[in-house]
Amino acid sequence: MKGVVFNLLEEAVVREFGPDVWDDLLLRADLSGAYTSLGNYDDEEILALVEAASAALNLPRAEVLRWFGRRAMPILKERYGAFFERHASSKSFVLSVNSIIHPEVRKLYAGASCPFFHFREDAAGAVSMDYDSSRRMCDLAHGFVEGAADLFEETVDVSHAACMNHGDAKCVMEIRWAR
Amino acid sequence: MGALNERKAPAPPEDTVAELNLRLLKLEHRFQRERAARLHAEAIAEKGLRDLYERQQQLVLLETIATVANQSRSVEETLRVAVRAVCDHTGWSYGNAYRLATAGPPRLTPADVWYAADPDRLAPFIALNQQAEFVAGQGLPGRVLGSGRAAWIADVAEDDNFPRADAARACGLHAAFAFPVLVGHDVLGVLEFFHREPVSPDEQLLGVVGQIGTQLGRVVERRRAEDKLMHDASHDPLTGLPNRLLFVDRLERAVAAHRRRSELGFAVLFIDLDRFKLVNDSMGHAAGDDLLVQIAGRFGRVVSEARGADAAPLVATLARLGGDEFTVLLEDVGGEAAAIELAEALQETLRRPFQIEGQDIFTSASFGVASCAAGYAGADEIMRDADLAMYRAKAEGRARIEVFDQSLLADAKRRLATETDLRNAVRNKEFILHYQPIFALDGERLVGFEALIRWRRADGEIAPPSDFIGIAEETGLIVFIGQWVMQEAFATLAAWRSAYPEAGPVTMSVNVSPRQFHQPDFVGQVMAAVRSSGVDPSAVRLEITESVTIQDARRTKSILDELRAQGVRVSIDDFGTGYSSLSYLQQLSFDTLKIDRSFVTALKGAGGEEIVRTILDLARSLEMDVVAEGAETAAHVEQLREMGCGFAQGYFFARPLEREAAAALLAAASTPDPGAD
């Protein structure tokens, strides 16, 4: 997992709960916590942090990930504003993830293994998003979508039609924007 | 220790708490500073990584294009790869190439090279561009053509010099850039690219595509150089017409096409200018070249205007094989009729004179035609046959058109056989000499002989010179034959003089062919033959035809002067039948002039006498002796004598005689005439 994700998580936790909570999470997860955005760290570390947060906050893991995704979005916008500027809606932003955002990620991290999201848009404007990753972080993606909707001041509903965490071969999320 | 443990730790003094708080604050500030520095460092590093990545991608792009530019021989293929590679690199939706029009006003026209990741969505815009043309300054491509520099439009919808804005907007295209394909400062083409979003100018990208434009320019330049080399290798530099190489190549293809599909007929025309050498020799090579260029121009027009039976233009290749030889290949024709018709048109176009160095020059050409009807297997056969037909045209009196038929080939084979026989004849010494006496007309004294060659063939048949001298001259065998004639004739004369001293001084005339005369050591060969025979050089007469004298007057004069300095005498043979110029006659001081038999035969006819009298007057004023040939009757002899002609030979006196018969004549002349006493 890229260091920038750890940085985002730290930032989100510090903003909402203060720096001590982040230190506590690191202690619980038994991690050093020295993350630079340019670094690449073991996937286990992010999972351990999510577990620690889940235990500390008494929230399911999925909830933690969704919370994190949602809170990370404004921080991302502060750091990488250009990706947001060219979009008028969260939908077009979400749809640009494969063609714009992930190529940009690869510029920084040669060989980065970004998940590929397969999008299908129906006549009503709803988008079905396939997610297939060994990290099984569909809830993070879910949170990102919600966070994006917040940024564009839109309301969105995300439901998991299929989920790897529930034994499906891949995740399928149905995303509906409120009119 | 226990007591100590139980005691409460004393509260830190107030000032210490403040101190700790201050330290904590400082540490937090230090932490914030470090964090800010880390974020800044990361941002710098990210930018560096992003730039490095983009630079690498640009290098990959340049390398992709450099590779195809170095490997591909096709400009189009290189453009295609470049357009695709730039789209892939930038992620832009559509790229399109224009080339500079090769004809008409300078403008860009579609190169029929484009790429779109999703062509269906852009179909109307793509279709529009396949028809678009831009002059300098007009629209995006025209701007690049005018300035020779890359140009960028952030959003074509807001640009006031983008005529295709409506179509672009309809297809959802906004940003655009274009760059030139450059050779030096010349724009040879323009590549343009379009993107779905508005994008502000990217100077780095413009720099990269500028380099691509230069690379593409090198490909175009190299291709041009290759084309020029190919053109030069396959075309005649003087006339710009296809040369032999290209002609034979096309002919081979025509032969192959005809074999595949027999309805694809073809015909070949061989053209040889008549007496072109005369222009070259008398006016110089520059004049000759000028004439060839003008002829090529006239032929070219005729060929391009030629129409087939269906009034469609003929598929024709006019080529110059070299020298004054031209050829035409007609493809997709039924047979030789089209070729004959074209030959007539070509002949017609030569009727008007050519202006060469201010002079009117008339020329004609001989045409040989061969067609696919004979079922050829290769170009060499058909060229041989068209050539044979052309030679027949030439032999039949020039300015003619001859169509090849099998008898021509038979003739050629016969000639080849004769040539082989002739070589053997030289080796086996199958030649003999006959001697025709020459008489002085005052008293009909025998004054000499003309040695005339005969070929006694293996079957015993005696062949006259007309059967073999032409071939001997062509093959160069004449040099050996001529040498033998001199040796044999001079030796015979020497033998006769010692056998019949009383017969008085008789001369021996031998004929010298042009080829023999122009041997580098001709004088040496003559003198060697004279010396080895032991005859007096002054008894020797070398007979030279007019055609010898016109080839190189200066050299001819120096050879004649040298011979005469050695005491050998020289006659001009067949006078009046060639193209003698009187000035040559004056410069080239001959001793004797021989009037051609045709004038003697025509003595009785209208004006016949005047001609002979004129020749005699001419000879007298140039102080030359005159021998009339072909004196067949007493009337001829009487008339010639009356006009003051000194000498004659012909059937009236004697036919050419075998050596023994000639000797007998000498013997008779040695015996004192009883009547003279």
Q: What is the pLDDT of residues A68-110, one digit of tens each?
A: 999 999 999 998 888 888 788 999 899 888 877 787 888 887 7
- DSSP for A51-88? HHHHHHHT--HHHHHHHHHHHHHHHHHHH-THHHHT-S
CA–CA gap between residue B573 and residue B619 (Å, rounded): 13
Using an 8 Å Cβ cutoff, are B210 and B148 in contact? no
Using an 8 Å Cβ cutoff, are B102 and B108 in contact? no
B236 CA to centre of own chain: 4
Element (H, E) at B54: helix B14-71
Q: Are B303 and B395 part of one and the same domain?
A: yes
Chain A: nearest CA to B260, how far in angstroms? Answer: 55
> Based on the number of CB atoms within 10 Å of its own CB, is B379 exposed (0-12), middle (13-18) or buried (19 or more)?
buried
Give me the pLDDT at residue B459, please.
86
Count up the domains in chain A and report the number: 2
Q: Are B446 and B509 part of one and the same domain?
A: yes
Q: Are B583 and B665 part of one and the same domain?
A: yes
Put simply, the chain A residues between 71 and 90 with a CB less than 8 A from any chain B CB are 86
Q: Are B387 and B274 part of one and the same domain?
A: yes
How distant, in Å, are the alpha carbons of B38, B656, B670 from that of B503?
135, 19, 4
Using an 8 Å Cβ cutoff, are B329 and B268 in contact? yes
Q: Name every chain B residue with its beta carbon within 8 A of the beta carbon of A99.
A: 91
Give me the pLDDT at residue B259, please.
87
Using a CB–CB cutoff of 8 Å, tell me whether B45 touches chain A: yes
A48 CA to centre of own chain: 16
How distant, in Å, are the alpha carbons of B189, B335, B388, B404, B453 from that of B372?
45, 7, 15, 11, 43
Q: Is residue B44 part of a domain?
A: no
Q: Name every chain B residue with its beta carbon within 8 A of the beta carbon of A98.
A: none
Q: Are A156 and A85 part of one and the same domain?
A: yes
Task: Specify which residues B625 forms β-bridges with.
Answer: B592
* Sequence letter at residue B150: A
Q: Is residue B662 part of a domain?
A: yes
CB contact under 8 A, B49 and A36: no
A77: domain CATH number? 3.90.1520.10
Q: Are A27 and A71 part of one and the same domain?
A: no
3-state SS class at B593:
strand
Count up the domains in chain B and report the number: 3
φ, ψ (nearest 5 deg) of residue B356: -125, 120
- The residues of chain B scoring below 70 in pLDDT are 1-9, 12, 550-551, 578-581, 671-677
| Closest CB to B197 among A86, A104, A107 | A86
Using an 8 Å Cβ cutoff, are B404 and B380 in contact? no
The last residue of one of the domains, among B233, B268, B294, is B233
| Residue entry with tokens 């709960």 | A17
| Closest CB to B42 among A36, A99, A103 | A36
| Closest CB to A107 among B39, B54, B197 | B54
Give me the pLDDT at residue B1, please.
43
| Closest CB to A108 among B38, B49, B91 | B49
Task: Specify which residues B193 forms β-bridges with.
Answer: B95, B177
Quote ipTM for the complex. 0.82
How distant, in Å, are the alpha carbons of B124, B481, B483 from that of B426?
84, 7, 11
Give me the pLDDT at residue B578, please.
65
| Closest CB to A108 among B38, B39, B46 | B46
The last residue of one of the domains, among B175, B201, B233, is B233
Q: Are A26 and A101 part of one and the same domain?
A: no
Q: Are A169 and A84 part of one and the same domain?
A: yes
B163: domain CATH number? 3.30.450.40
Using an 8 Å Cβ cutoff, are B542 and B562 in contact? no
- DSSP for B157-185? GG-SS-TTHHHHHHTT--EEEEEEEEETT
Using an 8 Å Cβ cutoff, are A152 and A84 in contact? no
Q: Which of A2, A7, A22, A38 to mutate to test the interface with B (most CBs of B within 10 A)?
A: A38
Please name the residues in contact with A137: beta carbons below 8 A apart, sequence gap of 6 or more. Answer: A65
Q: Which of A37, A84, A85, A98 to mutate to test the interface with B (most CBs of B within 10 A)?
A: A37
Element (H, E) at B24: helix B14-71
Please name the residues in contact with A67: beta carbons below 8 A apart, sequence gap of 6 or more. Answer: A12, A59, A143
B91 → chain A, closest CA residue = A99
Give me the pLDDT at residue A107, please.
81
The last residue of one of the domains, among B336, B369, B404, is B404
Domain that holds residue A123: 62-179
Enter the DSSP assignment of B433. Answer: E
| Closest CB to B38 among A36, A106, A108 | A36
Using an 8 Å Cβ cutoff, are B82 and B181 in contact? no
Domain that holds residue B196: 70-233
Q: Report the greatest alpha carbon distance in chain B.
A: 195
| Residue entry with tokens 């997992």 | A1
How is residue B534 written in tokens? 């032991």
Q: Are B460 and B544 part of one and the same domain?
A: yes
Put simply, the chain B residues between 507 and 526 with a CB less than 8 A from any chain A CB are none
Q: Is residue B47 part of a domain?
A: no
Mean local confidence (pLDDT), A112-120: 82
How distant, in Å, are the alpha carbons of A108, B220, B498, B657, B663 from that of B660?
116, 83, 15, 8, 5
CA–CA gap between residue B647 and residue B436 (Å, rounded): 13
Q: Name every chain A residue with its beta carbon within 8 A of the beta carbon of B45.
A: 38
Give me the pLDDT at residue B471, please.
86
Q: Name every chain B residue with its beta carbon within 8 A of the beta carbon of A38.
A: 42, 45-46, 49
3-state SS class at B397:
coil
Q: Are A43 and A75 part of one and the same domain?
A: no
How is residue B52 written in tokens? 């490095």
Please name the residues in contact with B676: beta carbons below 8 A apart, sequence gap of 6 or more. Answer: none
The answer to whether the Cα torsion of B213, B219, B223, B226 is positive or negative is positive
B481: domain CATH number? 3.20.20.450
Q: Is residue B25 part of a domain?
A: no
B92 → chain A, closest CA residue = A99
Give the angle B248-B249-B255 at the CA atoms, nearest 5°.
Answer: 85
Give me the pLDDT at residue B467, please.
86
Task: Specify which residues A157 forms β-bridges with.
Answer: A176
CA–CA gap between residue B254 and residue B378 (Å, rounded): 10
Q: Are A18 and A89 part of one and the same domain?
A: no
CA–CA gap between residue B141 and residue B179 (Å, rounded): 8
Q: Which residue in B125, B65, B77, B115 sits closest to B93, CA to CA? A: B115
Chain B: nearest CA to A122, how far in angstroms? Answer: 19
| List of long-range contacts for B40-48, beta carbons under 8 Å, 24+ apart | B42/A36, B42/A37, B42/A38, B45/A38, B46/A37, B46/A38, B46/A108
Q: Which residue in B399, B401, B403 sits closest to B385, CA to CA? A: B403
A80 → chain B, closest CA residue = B43
Q: Is residue B122 part of a domain?
A: yes
The last residue of one of the domains, among A59, A85, A109, is A59
Element (H, E) at B553: helix B553-565
The last residue of one of the domains, among A59, A85, A108, is A59
CB contact under 8 A, B53 and A36: no
Say if strands B354-356 and B507-512 run parallel, antiparallel, or are unpaired: unpaired
Q: Are B100 and B161 part of one and the same domain?
A: yes
Using a CB–CB cutoff of 8 Å, tell me whether A112 touches chain B: no
Instruction: Render pLDDT for A21-75 as a digit per residue (tens, 0 to 9).
Output: 999 999 999 998 899 888 889 989 999 999 999 998 899 999 999 999 999 999 9
Q: Is residue B83 part of a domain?
A: yes
The distance in angstroms from the start CA to the end CA of chain A is 36
Using an 8 Å Cβ cutoff, are A72 and A143 in contact? yes
A37 → chain B, closest CA residue = B42
| Closest CB to A107 among B38, B53, B197 | B53
Q: Strand locations in B25-132, DSSP E?
A: 94-100, 108-116
Please name the residues in contact with B85: beta carbons below 8 A apart, sequence gap of 6 or more. Answer: B61, B64, B65
The answer to whether the Cα torsion of B552, B555, B557, B559 is positive or negative is negative
CA–CA gap between residue B414 and residue B408 (Å, rounded): 10
Which three-class secondary structure string do you get for B341-383? Answer: HHHHHHHHHCCCCEEECCEEECCCEEEEEEEHHHCCCCHHHHH
Chain A: nearest CA to B185, how far in angstroms? Answer: 36
B396: domain CATH number? 3.30.70.270
Q: Are A163 and A78 part of one and the same domain?
A: yes
CB contact under 8 A, A108 and B91: no
Q: Are B229 and B250 part of one and the same domain?
A: no
How is residue B366 written in tokens? 């001989």
Q: Are A67 and A124 part of one and the same domain?
A: yes
A79 → chain B, closest CA residue = B43
Q: Are B440 and B331 part of one and the same domain?
A: no
Using a CB–CB cutoff of 8 Å, tell me whether B91 touches chain A: yes
Using a CB–CB cutoff of 8 Å, tell me whether A108 touches chain B: yes
A with B: how many residue pairs have Cβ under 8 Å apart?
Answer: 23
Q: Are A120 and A154 part of one and the same domain?
A: yes
Q: Are A150 and A69 part of one and the same domain?
A: yes
Task: Specify which residues B438 forms β-bridges with.
Answer: B448
| Closest CB to A37 among B42, B91, B197 | B42
> Based on the number of CB atoms within 10 Å of its own CB, is A98 exposed (0-12), middle (13-18) or buried (19 or more)?
middle
Put simply, the chain B residues between 197 and 226 with a CB less than 8 A from any chain A CB are 197
Chain B: nearest CA to A135, how far in angstroms? Answer: 25
A109 → chain B, closest CA residue = B49
Q: Is residue B416 part of a domain?
A: no
Angle between helices B634-643 and B608-621 (to 10 degrees): 40
CB contact under 8 A, B46 and A36: no
Chain A: nearest CA to B53, how far in angstroms? Answer: 5
